[in-house]
C-alpha cells in the first residue's frame, strides 16, 4: 500500500456535500483516508464571477499506482458533474494528486509532485495539518517553508454543521 496526498476543492452547488461525497466515492475504490485536514474557504483563481472555494487535503493509503489513482480521481470528478469548460473555471468537485510516496514523475497528463502546489496557500495550509513533516521532493523544502513565502490571508477555516464521520485512527 502506498501513501498519497490529495487536494479536494469545490466552488459550485453544495460545496461541502461534494467534498464529503468525493471522499466517500474514493473510500469505496481502494483509496482509504488516513487523515483529513479541516475544510478551508478560499478565494477562487481564474475567471471573475466564480464562487468561493472549499478546499481540503487528505492523506490516503491506496493499492493503486499513480496513473490508476489519477484515472480514478478524474472519474470521480466526472461522476460529480465536473465539466472542464475553461482553465481554472468553476467546478463541482476538483481532485488533485499532489504527491505519491515522494515520487517525481513527468508523464503525459501526470506530473508529480503537482506542478503548482508549492505556490498555493490553499493547498499548503491544509497539507500542513495532515503531513506536517512533508518535504517537496524536487524543491527540498517543507510545506511550512514553502508557505512562508506566500500570502495565506485568503485561506480561512470553514465551519461545517456536520463534519461527517470520524476516521479510524
Q: Is 156 a catalytic residue?
A: no
Whether 169 maps to a domain, the answer reads no
Is 150 a residue whose pLDDT tops 70?
Answer: yes
Bond into 97 cis (ω within 30): no
Whether 105 maps to a domain, the answer reads yes
Whether 13 maps to a domain, the answer reads yes
Q: Is 38 a catalytic residue?
A: no
Find the catalytic residue in 15, 91, 99, 120. 91
- Average of per-residue pLDDT across 122-126: 96
Largest CA distance in the chain: 41
- Average of per-residue pLDDT across 27-56: 92
Is 158 a residue whose pLDDT tops 70?
Answer: yes
Find the catalytic residue in 96, 144, 156, 162. 96
CA distances from 73 to 66, 70, 104, 113, 155 (A): 10, 5, 19, 16, 24
E strands present in 76-144: 94-100, 105-107, 110-112
- At residue 166 the predicted structure's pLDDT band, cuts being 50, 70 and 90, is low
> What are the DSSP calls for 5-53, one per residue?
EEEEEE-SSSHHHHHHHHHHHHHTTTEEEEEEPPPEEEPPPSSTTPPPE
Q: Phi and psi of 66, rounded to 5°?
A: -55, -45
What per-residue confidence (pLDDT) applies to 160? 64
Whether 138 maps to a domain, the answer reads yes
Assess contact for 97 and 69: CB atoms under 8 A. yes
Whether 164 maps to a domain, the answer reads no
What per-residue confidence (pLDDT) applies to 165? 52
Q: Indicate whether this model's pTM tops 0.85.
A: yes
Find the catalytic residue in 3, 32, 35, 82. 82
CATH number at residue 137: 3.30.70.560
Q: Is 120 a catalytic residue?
A: no
Q: Is 103 a catalytic residue?
A: no
What per-residue confidence (pLDDT) applies to 89? 74
Reported as a single tens digit per residue, the pLDDT across 62-72 is: 999 999 999 99
Whether 66 maps to a domain, the answer reads yes
Find the catalytic residue in 3, 32, 38, 94. 94
Domain tally, the chain: 1
% of the chain at pLDDT higher than 90: 79
Whether 71 maps to a domain, the answer reads yes
Amino acid at each position: 500500500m502506498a501513501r498519497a496526498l490529495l487536494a479536494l476543492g469545490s466552488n459550485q452547488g453544495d460545496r461541502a456535500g461534494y467534498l464529503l461525497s468525493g471522499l466517500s466515492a474514493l473510500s469505496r475504490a481502494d483509496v482509504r483516508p488516513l487523515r483529513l485536514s479541516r475544510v478551508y474557504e478560499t478565494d477562487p483563481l481564474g475567471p471573475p464571477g466564480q464562487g468561493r472555494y472549499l478546499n481540503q487535503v487528505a492523506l490516503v493509503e491506496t493499492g493503486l499506482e499513480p496513473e490508476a489513482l489519477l484515472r480514478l480521481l478524474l472519474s470521480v470528478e466526472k461522476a460529480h458533474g465536473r465539466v472542464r469548460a475553461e482553465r481554472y473555471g468553476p467546478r463541482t468537485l476538483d481532485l488533485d494528486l499532489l504527491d505519491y510516496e515522494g515520487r517525481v514523475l513527468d508523464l503525459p497528463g501526470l506530473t508529480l509532485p503537482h506542478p503548482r502546489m508549492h505556490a498555493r496557500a490553499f493547498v499548503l495550509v491544509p497539507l500542513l495539518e495532515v503531513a506536517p513533516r512533508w518535504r517537496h521532493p524536487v524543491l527540498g523544502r517543507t510545506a511550512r517553508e514553502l508557505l512562508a513565502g506566500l500570502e495565506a490571508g485568503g485561506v480561512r477555516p470553514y465551519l461545517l454543521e456536520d463534519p461527517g464521520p470520524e476516521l479510524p485512527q
